[in-house]
C-alpha cells in the first residue's frame, strides 16, 4: 500500500490497527522526547507538540505516554499540535526504570531493527550484551550486533571478541566496524533501507553518534551533525547524546539515536530471555520437572549439560541471574499495578457515593 506516511515508517499493520480518525485526529510520528516536551512529524513536516490534558490525566504509567518512534493521534488547533493518544505499538524497546522504583520506561517504539553496539575495548561485556539482546527480543525487534573500534585491537583479539559476541546469541549477526577507517560501514548502510526504522543501543561512548555522522556525511540529508568528544587513551568515548531522537536519512531509512544506558534492568521480558538463551531454553524442556529451577532438582538437563561441559558455566549463571531478576521485577510490577487499580476503584467509589448522598458532603456554609 502506498500510504502518504510510508516514508516515515507507516505500514499496512499500522493501517489495520489505527482508529478511523473520525474525531478529527490524524497520525503523526514522535521524533523527539525531552523532559515531557515532544516533537512530532507528519506529512506537513516537523513541529513541537504537547499532550492533551485528558491523556495526561489517564496515564497510569510512563509506558502510557508517547516515546520516540510512537505513532500518535494528533490534532492541530489554534497553531498548536496536541497529542490525544498513542496508537498501537507494533514493536517496542523498554526497560525497568533506573533506580529502585519498579516501573516500565519506554526506549523506542515501532522499531524494525536494533543495532546493539559494543566497542572492542572498555565496553565489551558479554553479560551486558545478553541483557540488550533479551530486551530487543522481548519487543519483537530484529537485532544485529555492531562491534566498534576494531582499529584499536589486533586481528587475533578481534577474532576472539567476535566469537564471544556470537556466543551471546547464535541467531544474531555480528558486524565488526571502525568509524575511523570506515571498515564495515557498507555492511551497516545495506541495513538502512527506505522506510525502515533502526534504533542504536549501547553504553555511553561506544560510537553511536559518530556512526550516525559517518552515515549522513556528504549525503545532504539535512540531518544535523551530532556532537562528539575525543576518545580517551583507553578507547573509551564520552557521552554526548542527551535525548532520544529520530532522524530521517537521505536514503529513506529512519534512525533512532539514544543516550547511553548505565542500567538495563529487565522487566516482563521472560520470552526475550528464552529467545536470547535459546540453547538453555531447549535444555530446560528436557528437565524432569516443568518448573525446574536448575538448582538441586533431580533430572535437571541444564545442570547436567554444565557438568558435562556442553553448556558454558558462565552463560548458565548469567541466565539464572537474569531470570531471577526479571521474575522479581515483574512480580513487583504486577503487584504495584494491582494496588494502584484497587486504590483507583476505592477513590471512584467514594466520589460516586458523595455525589449520590448529599449528607456525605461537608457543610461549607
Say if 346 falls within a structural domain. no
Contact predicate 283/305, CB 8 Å:
yes
pLDDT greater than 90 at residue 270: yes
Distance CA 360, CA 352 (A): 11
Question: Is 99 in the same domain as 224?
Answer: yes
Provide the pLDDT for residue 275.
96
Domain end call among 86, 103, 125: 86
Provide the pLDDT for residue 74.
94
pLDDT greater than 70 at residue 233: no
What H or E segment, with its residue span, contains residue 104? strand 104-109
pLDDT greater than 50 at residue 5: yes
Domain end call among 63, 86, 109: 86
More confident residue, 24 or 9: 9
Strand partners, 93: 108
Domain end call among 211, 235, 257: 257
- The mean pLDDT of 191-215, rounded to a whole number, is 90
Provide the pLDDT for residue 304.
96
> How do 80-86 and 45-51 pair as beta strands?
parallel
Question: Is 74 in the same domain as 17?
Answer: yes
Contacts of residues 46-53 at CB distance under 8 Å and 24 or more positions apart, as own/partner, are 47/81, 48/81, 49/74, 49/80, 49/81, 49/82, 49/83, 50/80, 50/81, 50/82, 50/83, 51/82, 51/83, 52/82, 52/83, 52/84
Question: Is 188 in the same domain as 314?
Answer: no
Question: Is 277 in the same domain as 250?
Answer: no
pLDDT greater than 80 at residue 208: yes
Say if 355 falls within a structural domain. no
- Identify the band that residue 365 occupies on the pLDDT scale cut at 50, 70 and 90: very low
- Identify the band that residue 90 occupies on the pLDDT scale cut at 50, 70 and 90: very high
**87-106 as b/e, with b when 16 or more CB fall inside 10 Å?**
bebbbbbbbbbeeeebbbbb
Say if 297 falls within a structural domain. yes
**What CATH number is attached to the domain comprising 244?**
3.40.50.300
- The mean pLDDT of 188-217, rounded to a whole number, is 89
Say if 364 falls within a structural domain. no
pTM reported for the whole predicted model:
0.85
Any idea what DSSP says for residue 125? -
More confident residue, 352 or 123: 123
- Measured N-to-C along each axis, helices 126-138 and 313-356 cross at an angle, to the nearest 10 degrees, of 40
Provide the pLDDT for residue 328.
94
Looking at the 3D structure of the chain, how many domains does it have? 3
Question: Is 76 in the same domain as 123?
Answer: no
Say if 337 falls within a structural domain. no
**What CATH number is attached to the domain comprising 15?**
2.40.50.140
Say if 345 falls within a structural domain. no
pLDDT greater than 80 at residue 34: yes
Contact predicate 23/55, CB 8 Å:
no
Residue 276's nearest CA partner among 146, 117, 168, 164 is 168
Question: Is 118 in the same domain as 214?
Answer: yes
**DSSP three-state, residue 181:** coil
Q: Which residues contact 107 (CB under 8 A, 6 or more apart)?
A: 67, 68, 92, 93, 94, 95, 135, 199, 201, 244, 258
**What CATH number is attached to the domain comprising 292?**
1.10.40.50
- Identify the band that residue 359 occupies on the pLDDT scale cut at 50, 70 and 90: low
Question: Is 159 in the same domain as 304?
Answer: no
pLDDT greater than 70 at residue 217: no
Contact predicate 199/258, CB 8 Å:
yes
Question: Is 121 in the same domain as 248?
Answer: yes
- Identify the band that residue 2 occupies on the pLDDT scale cut at 50, 70 and 90: confident
Question: Is 72 in the same domain as 102?
Answer: no
Say if 46 falls within a structural domain. yes
pLDDT greater than 60 at residue 218: no
Question: Is 115 in the same domain as 229?
Answer: yes
How many C-beta atoms lie closer than 10 Å to residue 324's C-beta? 11
Domain that holds residue 276: 270-329
pLDDT greater than 60 at residue 241: no
Question: Is 197 in the same domain as 298?
Answer: no
- Identify the band that residue 229 occupies on the pLDDT scale cut at 50, 70 and 90: very low
List pLDDT tens digits, range 97-127: 988 888 999 999 999 999 999 999 878 999 9
Highest mean pLDDT among 91-100, 202-211, 354-363: 91-100
Question: Is 227 in the same domain as 276?
Answer: no
Residue 102's nearest CA partner among 319, 268, 220, 213 is 268
List pLDDT tens digits, range 289-346: 999 989 989 999 999 999 999 999 999 999 999 999 999 999 999 888 787 777 666 6
- The mean pLDDT of 118-138, rounded to a whole number, is 93
Provide the pLDDT for residue 274.
95
How does the average pLDDT of the chain come out, rounded?
Answer: 87
Q: What angle do CA 120, 126, 127 make, to 5 degrees?
A: 140
Provide the pLDDT for residue 231.
43
Provide the pLDDT for residue 292.
92
Provide the pLDDT for residue 356.
67
Amino acid at each position: 500500500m502506498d500510504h502518504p506516511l510510508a516514508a516515515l515508517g507507516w505500514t499496512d499493520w499500522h493501517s489495520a490497527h489505527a482508529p478511523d480518525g473520525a474525531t478529527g485526529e490524524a497520525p503523526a510520528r514522535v521524533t523527539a522526547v525531552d523532559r515531557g516536551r515532544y516533537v512530532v512529524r507528519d506529512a506537513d513536516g516537523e513541529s513541537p507538540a504537547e499532550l492533551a490534558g485528558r491523556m495526561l490525566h489517564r496515564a497510569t504509567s510512563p509506558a502510557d505516554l508517547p516515546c520516540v518512534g510512537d505513532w500518535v493521534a494528533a490534532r492541530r488547533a489554534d497553531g498548536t499540535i496536541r497529542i490525544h493518544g498513542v496508537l498501537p505499538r507494533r514493536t517496542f524497546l523498554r526497560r525497568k526504570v533506573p533506580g529502585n522504583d519498579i516501573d516500565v520506561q519506554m526506549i523506542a517504539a515501532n522499531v524494525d531493527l536494533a543495532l546493539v553496539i559494543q566497542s572492542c575495548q572498555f565496553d565489551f561485556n558479554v553479560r551486558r550484551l545478553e541483557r540488550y539482546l533479551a530486551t530487543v527480543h522481548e519487543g519483537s525487534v530484529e537485532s544485529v550486533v555492531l562491534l566498534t573500534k576494531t582499529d584499536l585491537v589486533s586481528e587475533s583479539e578481534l577474532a576472539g571478541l567476535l566469537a564471544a559476541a556470537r556466543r551471546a546469541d547464535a541467531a544474531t549477526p555480528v558486524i565488526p566496524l571502525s568509524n575511523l577507517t570506515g571498515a564495515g560501514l557498507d555492511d551497516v548502510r545495506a541495513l538502512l533501507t527506505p522506510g525502515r526504522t533502526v534504533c542504536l543501543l549501547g553504553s555511553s561512548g561506544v560510537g553511536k553518534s559518530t556512526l550516525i555522522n559517518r552515515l549522513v556525511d556528504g549525503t545532504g540529508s539535512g540531518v544535523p551533525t551530532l556532537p562528539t568528544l575525543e576518545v580517551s587513551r583507553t578507547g573509551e568515548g564520552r557521552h554526548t547524546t542527551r535525548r532520544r531522537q529520530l532522524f530521517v536519512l537521505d536514503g529513506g531509512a529512519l534512525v533512532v539515536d539514544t543516550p547511553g544506558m548505565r542500567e538495563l534492568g529487565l522487566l516482563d521480558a521472560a520470552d526475550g530471555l528464552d529467545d536470547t538463551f535459546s540453547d538453555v531454553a531447549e535444555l530446560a524442556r528436557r528437565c524432569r520437572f516443568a518448573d525446574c529451577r536448575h538448582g538441586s532438582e533431580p533430572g535437571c538437563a541444564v545442570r547436567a549439560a554444565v557438568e558435562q561441559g556442553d553448556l558454558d558455566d558462565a552463560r548458565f549463571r548469567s541466565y539464572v541471574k537474569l531470570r531471577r531478576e526479571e521474575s522479581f521485577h515483574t512480580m513487583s510490577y504486577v503487584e504495584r499495578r494491582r494496588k494502584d487499580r484497587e486504590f483507583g476503584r476505592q477513590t471512584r467509589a467514594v466520589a460516586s457515593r458523595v455525589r449520590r448522598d448529599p449528607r456525605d458532603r461537608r457543610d461549607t456554609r
